[in-house]
Amino acid sequence: MNLPEISIRKPVTVLMVTLIVLLFGAVSLLKLPVELYPNTSFGQISIIIQVRGGIPPTDVETMVTKPVEEAVATVSNLEQLLSISKEGESTVVLSFQPGTDMDFAALEVREKFSKIKNKLPKEIEKPVIAQFQQGDVPVFILAATSEKRTTEEIRKIVDETMKENLKRVPGVANVEVAGGRERKILVEVDQVRLASYGIPIDEVTGILGSNNLNLLSGEVERATDRFLVRVIGDFESIDQIKNMALRRNPTGSIIRVKDIATVKDSYLDPNEYSRLNVRPVVTIYVQKESTKNTITVAKDLLKEIENIKAKLPNDIHLVVTSNQAEFIKKAINNLQESLMQGIVLIILIFFIFLFRLNIRLLGTVLVLIITALFAKGIFLYVLFAVLITVLTIFKKFRSIIIVTFPIPVSVVGTFIFMRNTGLTINVMTLFGLALGVGMLVDNSIVVFENILKKREAGGDVIPSAIGGSSEMFLAVVASTLTVVIVFLPLVFMGQELQKLYSGMASTIVVSLVVSMACAVTLVPMMCSRPAFNAYSISSHVEDSKESWIKKFTLIERKFLFKSIRFRKRVALICLGMFLLAMFFISRLGLEYLGSTEQNKFTIFVELPTGARLEASDKLVKKVESLVKTIPEVKIVTSRIEPWSSKVYVELVNATERRRSVKDVIESIRQETNKMHPAFIYFQEEEQVGTKEVIIEIFGYNYDKLRELAIAIANRMESVKGLTDTKIRMREGRPEMQVMVNKKRASLYGLTVSETANQIHGQMRGFRATAYHTEGTEVETITRLDEKYRKTFKDLHRLIMTSKNGDDVLLDQLSDFKFGLGPSEIWRKDKNRMIQVSSNIGKIPLSKVVVSVQASLKNLPFPEDYFYRVGGDYPTLVRTNKQMRLMILFVLVLVYLVLASLFESFYQPLLIMIAVPLAMVGAVIAIYFGPHSIGVGAMLGMMMLGGIVVNHSIMLMDRINYYEKLKKKSTIRAAILANRDRLRPILMTMFTTVLGLIPMAIDRTEGANLWSPLALTVIGGVVSSTILTLMVTPAFYIMFRDLIEYIKNIRRPT
């Protein structure tokens, strides 16, 4: 008793197992987390160290960045080390190999850093070590507005009630606040009075700090109690700061702070502005940890924001201007609708194949098919509900339920696997299910159609169900294994692609295995039940002269006879078509993953280094005014900084506009190109992959690196298809360099370090202490009054105080000259680096890189200076090599499986003729679709190696059946097998193709990942099916002719 027979004899058991799968699958679905893509990013940890004193980038690199790099370079699983040294700031970014436990990695990084922390300069602030990269696009942007308050007042409330609360949300790595001015207690010293009393400014800072303490000092006992001893010395008011004693003068009177300075509760000068739709606001930028789920973090943020709102004054409003979780939900919803469209189309196509339809009904079904292709939202689900109702109510249509019921069982059953293996619902796993939908019914169609033929031949219900399903058992197992085997080579992919596509592969494999089980258990069981009346299909479809399939059969048979008659010519034509397809493949360029069009992009507005904030603000206002005239624009959020500003633009949904994001950007670029001297460029938000070509230049001397970068940028600008060429290095910032004469300074008892500290204390100011008021902490800054520190003349006249109290002007100790200092120093894997990048248009990355390398061919590089192509290109080259090997590996695996199943060495070769025939259609689809070969297209080709052989398997299995009867000639066996398998082959082709069409024509967010793959599979399946029906019998006969010829030669005369 085989499996189909057991299922038929035990229908209740089969039904209960099916219900258990559906129940557990539904529960698993509710618990599956949702994200846009599998997390393919390298886990990243950033170490951000602020350095007080305005230390220049070169010193930051030497004193901070290099020691940190050396300390963390030995961390486990480190993939890449990147650092940026700026004035007063060092950032070291560690990128880890996929699969690294980031919590453990963070602990190891902190441990390594703690060993060298005490060796770093004393001027460093508390380091920030978090799992994010500073340049990442914020996952959440929030604007705080008020009709009654100034931005300074709003900023105060945000700092006090929001910032720390948002930081505590799980998964949040960093929170930045922009807009308004930071509240400070400013002690602005009068230089003349200070000099008259002979008090150095750092003494004022020290006295304020040492007299504002709240210190635990010990313990005392009384009887059985213990008491802590705490010294309370906090400043309780601004007046206490004003009246703080500094010294006694010679007359004995006390010199107080108010005698030499003005003390006020005020704000620092603004260093940035923030606006929402041209209106000043305070903006909160939230970045998540690189490995955390975006939707989960955003959900927790929204909950926390609701809690915060309850504590805010009524006049303050919070507006979410950007939430990446919304984009993710939209992309997931789009793919879910594509999945539903595929199911509806498959049901509709069965009406055409399984029932005789008159012209009116046929026309109705075709209209519904076209409608389903473009149906969205509630209308799509209503259409699906109507179809299910029709199938349930009308008994004669219930046979469609038999072949389609494995779809929900397989899909829901896959959710159990996903839940227990840590997979998430994302565009790749959903695409795997959507891709599998068209193939899930293939096995059911084959089994059902064979059972149907036995019933039409006069067999009884149960014997027909047992015999029809048992006969197709081998074919079903073979066709499933050939598809499943395709995905084994994924283990040899690079880790990023493995993580990106393994979820898709897993869902396809599991759903196909479940569908195979359904085909040999559930389908025969349902066919044996009277309730489904599987055989009320208006008898023999092929007997109907009006049937379109009858007419198609006659046409196909004419071509089949000709292909058999002229089989040698057919072989040559097929070879020519395959070689032509290979020629076109060589002409197509290579891509990696391509760009993912979202509704958002960023405009970067850069002015020469050193430009004032007012100049940036004026220019950004022009950009804002321009952007607001674009009808597709929904929200404009601006962050204005002295010489580098960002304008975040969000467009209306793609369905509400005619132009693409690229078209909108191009229309803005035409105007911004006229805005001089600014450099304005654009960047679309990307989730996976980039659309840039990046040249990384390595060497030591930054001036030489800059010269090479300029030369490379000039050559790249001449390359066709590149836009927004930029050097990722800020121009040196103009500076007044103070060169302390050590000999002269020593005469006054001053060192270079002491002189530099006094200059910094008077110009920028020192943090003296923290003033606590109303439950908040406000920094107290001591510095000279603005009128003493504004001009070059003021700098020359700064008063330096020696240890013995003598005063001397700075220009008596120093020489001055103008110069340029590097604004930032980039290092990659401990080597200095500058990047030059350009945005790519529609030209494939591989072709662009070839053109760029050709333009740089004759550019001379000094010894120890070199460049290499960065970004996605190294991964593209590596992936292309891997995919070529994997496609070859897949073909070998498919052959091995087929040889073992058919117990033959030559029949698998005949079956696999379908593969080169599939390449013809695949290349045509790529040529008229993405016009380049990316990872999706290559993966599609690899999958075709397992998919397209299924039709040949059905033909070969049937030919073998007739050959075993010993009553048919080879030609007759091939013709009869073609006749018997024509309808199931056409049905499986249409179900596969129609299941993929919604994704192939999809142009929504994220479609670049699945559209090329779907197009490639559609093209390959169509060409392979049409050609296989005519070519496989011809090749089989030709091969048998060859065997007979060899036998005749060997036979003795």
Q: What are phi and psi of 219, to 5 degrees?
A: -140, 150
Q: What are phi and psi of 673, to 5 degrees?
A: -60, -20
Instruction: Kindly indicate the confidence band of residue 993, based on its pLDDT and cuts at 50, 70 and 90.
Output: confident
- Judged by average pLDDT, the poorest of 8-12, 20-24, 604-608, 816-820 is 816-820
Radius of gyration of the chain (CA): 37
Instruction: Kindly indicate the confidence band of residue 542, based on its pLDDT and cuts at 50, 70 and 90.
Output: very low
pLDDT of 790: 85
Q: Is the pLDDT of residue 821 over 80?
A: no
Nearest to 265, CA basis, from 774, 642, 787: 774
Give per-residue pLDDT as tens, 238-288. 898 999 998 888 788 899 999 999 999 888 778 888 898 888 999 998 988
Contact yes or no for 187/204 (Cβ under 8 A): yes
Sign of CA dihedral 201, 207, 212, 215: positive
- Judged by average pLDDT, the poorest of 293-307, 527-541, 542-556, 690-704 is 527-541
Cα 726-141-267 angle, rounded to 5 deg: 90
How large is the greatest C-alpha to C-alpha distance in the chain, in angstroms?
Answer: 141
- 172: CB partners within 8 A, 6+ apart: 166, 286, 287, 288, 289, 297, 301
pLDDT of 364: 82
CA dist 117 and 103 (Å) reads 21
Average pLDDT, stretch 427-449?
79
Give per-residue pLDDT as tens, 45-93. 889 898 866 677 888 888 899 999 999 998 998 888 999 888 788 999 9
Q: Is the pLDDT of residue 723 over 50?
A: yes
Instruction: Kindly indicate the confidence band of residue 543, based on its pLDDT and cuts at 50, 70 and 90.
Output: very low
Q: Write the DSSP assignment of 384-397 as a string of letters.
A: HHHHHHHHHH-GGG
Strand 589-590 to strand 932-933: parallel, antiparallel, or no bridges (unpaired)?
parallel
Cα dihedral 990, 991, 995, 996, rounded to 10, equals -40
Mean pLDDT of the chain: 83
- 706: CB partners within 8 A, 6+ apart: 727, 729, 834
CATH of domain 183-267+734-821: 3.30.2090.10
Domain boundaries, the chain: 183-267+734-821, 544-598+872-1053
pLDDT of 592: 65
Nearest to 946, CA basis, from 865, 862, 887: 887
Average pLDDT, stretch 540-565?
69
Distance of CA 547 to the CA centre of its chain: 49
Residue with tokens 């999706």: 936
Q: Is the pLDDT of residue 536 over 50?
A: no
- Judged by average pLDDT, the poorest of 223-237, 538-552, 778-792, 836-850 is 538-552
Report the phi/psi class of residue 221: left, alpha or beta, with left for phi > 0 and alpha for psi in -120 to 50. Answer: beta
Q: What are phi and psi of 149, to 5 degrees?
A: -110, 155
pLDDT of 40: 60
Residue with tokens 């030499």: 260
pLDDT of 747: 86
356 DSSP β-pair partners: none
pLDDT of 934: 73
42: DSSP letter: P
81 DSSP β-pair partners: 94
pLDDT of 301: 92
- Of the chain, the percentage scoring pLDDT greater than 70 comes to 91
Cα 943 to Cα 279, 482, 490, 931, 1014: the distances in Å are: 53, 9, 11, 19, 11
CATH architecture of 544-598+872-1053: Up-down Bundle (1.20)
Instruction: Kindly indicate the confidence band of residue 537, based on its pLDDT and cuts at 50, 70 and 90.
Output: very low
Q: How far apart are the first and last CA of the chain?
A: 50
For residue 274, how many other CB atoms are within 10 A of its CB?
A: 23
CA dist 912 and 894 (Å) reads 8
Cα dihedral 805, 195, 799, 783, rounded to 10, equals 110
Q: Is the pLDDT of residue 600 over 80?
A: yes
Structure tokens at 493: 């992919």
Q: Is the pLDDT of residue 416 over 90?
A: yes
Strand 831-840 to strand 776-784: parallel, antiparallel, or no bridges (unpaired)?
unpaired
Burial classification of residue 384, based on how many CB atoms lie within 10 Å of its CB (0-12 exposed, 13-18 middle, 19 or more buried):
middle
Cα 133 to Cα 49, 167, 641, 823, 869: the distances in Å are: 13, 16, 20, 20, 22
Q: Write the DSSP assignment of 621-634 as a string of letters.
A: HHHHHHHHT-TTEE
CA dist 606 and 405 (Å) reads 59
Which H or E run contains 762?
helix 752-763
Contact yes or no for 48/10 (Cβ under 8 A): no
Q: Is the pLDDT of residue 386 over 50?
A: yes
Q: Is the pLDDT of residue 731 over 70?
A: no
Give per-residue pLDDT as tens, 644-673. 899 989 888 777 888 888 889 889 988 888
Count Cα atoms within 13 angstroms, Cβ side, for 579.
Answer: 6
Amino acid at 954: M
CA dist 895 and 917 (Å) reads 16
Give per-residue pLDDT as tens, 742-768. 888 888 888 888 888 888 888 878 778
CA dist 526 and 399 (Å) reads 9
Give per-residue pLDDT as tens, 951-990. 888 888 888 888 777 666 778 888 888 888 888 888 888 8
Sign of CA dihedral 977, 983, 985, 986: positive
Instruction: Kindly indicate the confidence band of residue 534, based on its pLDDT and cuts at 50, 70 and 90.
Output: very low
Which H or E run contains 1011?
helix 1011-1050
Asked, as a colleague might, if the bond just before 677 is cis with ω within 30 of 0, I would say: yes
Cα dihedral 802, 805, 807, 811, rounded to 10, equals 0
Q: Write the DSSP assignment of 926-970 as a string of letters.
A: HHHTTSEE-HHHHHHHHHHHHHTHHHHHHHHHHHHHHHHTT-S-H
Which H or E run contains 83?
strand 78-86
Average pLDDT, stretch 413-435?
84
Q: What counts of helices (H) and strands (E) characterise the chain?
A: 39, 33
CA dist 199 and 182 (Å) reads 29
Report the phi/psi class of residue 54: left, alpha or beta, with left for phi > 0 and alpha for psi in -120 to 50. Answer: left
User: Alpha helices of 629-693 — where are they, by DSSP H?
Assistant: 661-672
Give per-residue pLDDT as tens, 150-204. 888 898 888 888 888 898 899 888 888 888 887 888 999 998 888 888 888 888 8
Q: Is the pLDDT of residue 1004 over 70?
A: no
64: DSSP letter: I
CA dist 531 and 396 (Å) reads 10
Which H or E run contains 499?
helix 495-520
124: DSSP letter: B
pLDDT of 626: 93
Strand 932-933 to strand 722-727: parallel, antiparallel, or no bridges (unpaired)?
unpaired
CA dist 754 and 708 (Å) reads 39
Q: Is the pLDDT of residue 541 over 50?
A: no
Structure tokens at 29: 């679905």
pLDDT of 1002: 73
Nearest to 695, CA basis, from 674, 719, 673, 726: 726
Nearest to 56, CA basis, from 701, 819, 789: 819
Contact yes or no for 936/1016 (Cβ under 8 A): yes
Strand 692-698 to strand 831-840: parallel, antiparallel, or no bridges (unpaired)?
antiparallel
Structure tokens at 904: 């033959």
Cα 1005 to Cα 40, 326, 499, 500: the distances in Å are: 18, 12, 20, 16
Instruction: Kindly indicate the confidence band of residue 128, based on its pLDDT and cuts at 50, 70 and 90.
Output: confident
Nearest to 604, CA basis, from 371, 837, 848, 364: 837
pLDDT of 647: 92
